[in-house]
């Protein structure tokens, strides 16, 4: 009989130990080690079992890189363009996709919509461990979804789930959620580090062996990060975050990891009474500006994944009533705001140490790239001087600590997107100035912050 191999894993940080000890050597927490079985150690009986099954020789085959078939994997399109965009063109068979998000963001609703639609053409299985079948059926009925062909299962035992999947052989399977799944081989509670890690690894292995596309729903912590071990993000093929709070009817699906497409791709959805509806022209909803021209408002062009996105940045500068002025940024990096204020003081000659500065990105979009630096500074200057800017003006560019305006990628495509939405003037880095004039657009190239301020 094969000897059983075991290890002791910390339920807080996931560090493995060869033997039990009172304190974890990694996170220094007490009484957090749990024993898990890793499976039998290889023995002659294992080889005999393979021989009885007709498997002889080496268990792994080796090939050269040149002999690998480079035919593109056929993708399964969901019919929702924004979702397919984030995936890189559709669902890849055998892939493992992790979707995280805050409670109430719409993760389960979006996946239920997709599976109900795909079940009309391919076999699909929806596994729910948090809701009853009646609750899921009530939601599907409220959303008006086709439910006649979607297979449903309520189970949290990962072994039972794979047994049912092997019997019905679905092409697409949803696990809602990975935090409530458990394996009988691991003596710890569902949601612990060891349970989440082993259950996810088991499902990923099943996906690769059976060529089944699996979607895992993941919870987030109070800090907004994915709950569970970091290895969970490493073993899956695609990781997406569904962002959006209760105060906004729009949801953004951002790809943070994708082995089959572009990273940081962004999909925009609107939450309606009939579920999540894709927004095919996101720039239009984020540019719903008021007719009244007010200081501190400026439009910039971001590059999200493979397309440009126009957003509005608003700034408000007011005299501080306290000894320590406030710096509040919504949708922007707080540290980058403080840095740009220092650049504005040093190279723009504007002193704001006694002013409260508030900046906001309209629509709930989160800016993660540096191309919004110049627009941020000019919006702050507009509010500080109490002078409104031209509504037909668009600005983008990275601002360095020396006051220089650095170029950004895909400058030509950003300008072309701005022209489509009716903008006629643009302040851009000198290196991003087009070689040929763009019809309907006056481009002002700048290389220093002082030149940008003079262009206003």
- Residue of 206, 167, 211, 212 whose CA lies nearest to 183: 206
Q: Residue 87's CB: how many other CB atoms inside 10 A?
A: 28
How far is the C-alpha of 3 from the C-alpha of 393, rounded, in Å?
72
Residue 148 tokens, joined? 């006649």
Would you say 101 is a known binding-site residue?
A: yes
Would you say 104 is a known binding-site residue?
A: yes
Would you say 102 is a known binding-site residue?
A: yes
In SS3 terms, the chain reads as CCCEEEEEEECCCCCEECCCCCECCCCCCECCEEEEEEEECCCHHHHHHHHHCCCCCCCCCCCCHHHCCCCCCCCECCCCHHHHHHHCCCECCCCEEEEEECCCCCHHHHHHHHHHHHCCCCCEEEEECCCCHHHHHHHHHHHCCCCCCCEEEECCEHHHHHHHHHHHCCCEEEEECHHHCECCCCCCCCCCHHHHHHHHHHHHHHHHHHCCEEEEEECECCCCCECCCCHHHHHCCEEEEEECCCCCCEEEEEEEEECCCCCCCEEEEEEECCEEEECCCHHHHHCCCCCCCCCCEEEEEEEECCEEEEEEEEEEEEECCCCCCCEEEECCCHHHHHHHHHHHHHHHCCCCCCEEEEEEECCCCCCCCHHHHHHHHHHHHHHHHCCCCCCCEEECCEECCCCEEECCCCHHHHHHHHHHCCCCEEEEEHHHCCCCCCCCCEEEEECEHHHHHHHC
- Residue of 37, 14, 36 whose CA lies nearest to 228: 14
Contact between 430 and 445 (Cβ < 8 Å): yes
Contact between 404 and 451 (Cβ < 8 Å): no
Tokens 């009939």: give the residue: 274
Exposure letters 134-148 (e unless 16+ CB within 10 A, then b): eebeebbeebebeee
Would you say 108 is a known binding-site residue?
A: yes
Task: Give the annotated binding-site residues.
Answer: 101-108
Task: Give the annotated binding-site residues for ATP.
Answer: 101-108
């Amino acid at each position: 009989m094969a000897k059983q191999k075991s290890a002791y894993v910390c339920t807080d940080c996931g560090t493995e130990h060869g033997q039990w000890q009172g304190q974890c050597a990694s996170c220094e927490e007490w009484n957090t080690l749990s024993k898990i079985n890793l499976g039998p150690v290889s023995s002659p009986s294992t080889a005999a079992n393979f021989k009885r099954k007709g498997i002889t020789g080496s268990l792994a085959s080796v090939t050269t890189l040149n002999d690998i078939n480079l035919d593109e994997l056929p993708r399964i399109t969901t019919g929702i363009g924004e979702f397919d965009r984030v995936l890189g063109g559709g669902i890849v068979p055998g892939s493992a996709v992790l979707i995280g998000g805050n409670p109430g963001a719409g993760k389960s609703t979006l996946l239920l919509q997709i599976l109900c639609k795909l079940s009309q053409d391919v076999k699909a299985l929806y596994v729910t461990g948090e809701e009853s079948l009646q609750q899921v059926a009530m939601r599907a009925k409220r959303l008006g979804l086709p439910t006649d062909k979607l297979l449903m299962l309520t189970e949290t035992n990962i072994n039972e789930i794979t047994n049912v999947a092997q019997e019905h052989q679905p092409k697409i399977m949803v696990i809602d959620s990975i935090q409530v799944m458990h394996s009988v081989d691991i003596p710890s509670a569902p949601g612990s580090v060891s349970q989440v890690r082993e259950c996810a690894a088991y499902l990923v292995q099943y996906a690769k062996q059976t060529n089944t596309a699996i979607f895992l729903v993941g919870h987030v912590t109070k800090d907004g990060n994915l709950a569970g071990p970091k290895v969970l993000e490493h073993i899956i093929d695609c990781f997406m975050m569904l962002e959006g709070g209760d105060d906004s009817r729009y949801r953004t699906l951002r790809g943070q990891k994708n082995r089959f497409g572009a990273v940081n791709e962004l999909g925009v959805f609107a939450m309606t009474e009939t579920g999540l509806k894709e927004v095919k022209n996101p720039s239009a909803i984020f540019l719903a500006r008021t007719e009244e021209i007010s200081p501190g408002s400026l439009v910039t062009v971001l590059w999200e994944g493979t397309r440009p996105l126009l957003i509005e940045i608003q700034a408000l500068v007011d005299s501080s009533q306290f000894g320590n002025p406030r710096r509040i940024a919504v949708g922007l990096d707080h540290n980058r705001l403080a840095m740009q204020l220092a650049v504005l003081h040093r190279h723009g000659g504007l002193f704001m140490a006694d002013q409260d500065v508030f900046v906001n990105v309209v629509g709930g979009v989160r800016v993660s790239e540096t191309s919004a630096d110049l627009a941020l500074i000019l919006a702050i200057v507009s509010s500080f001087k109490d002078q409104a800017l031209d509504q037909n003006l668009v600005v983008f560019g990275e601002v360095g600590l020396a006051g220089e305006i650095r170029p950004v990628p895909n400058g030509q495509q950003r300008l072309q997107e701005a022209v489509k939405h009716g903008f006629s003037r643009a302040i851009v880095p000198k290196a991003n100035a087009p070689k040929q004039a763009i019809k309907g657009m006056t481009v002002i190239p700048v290389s220093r912050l002082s030149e940008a301020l003079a262009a206003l």
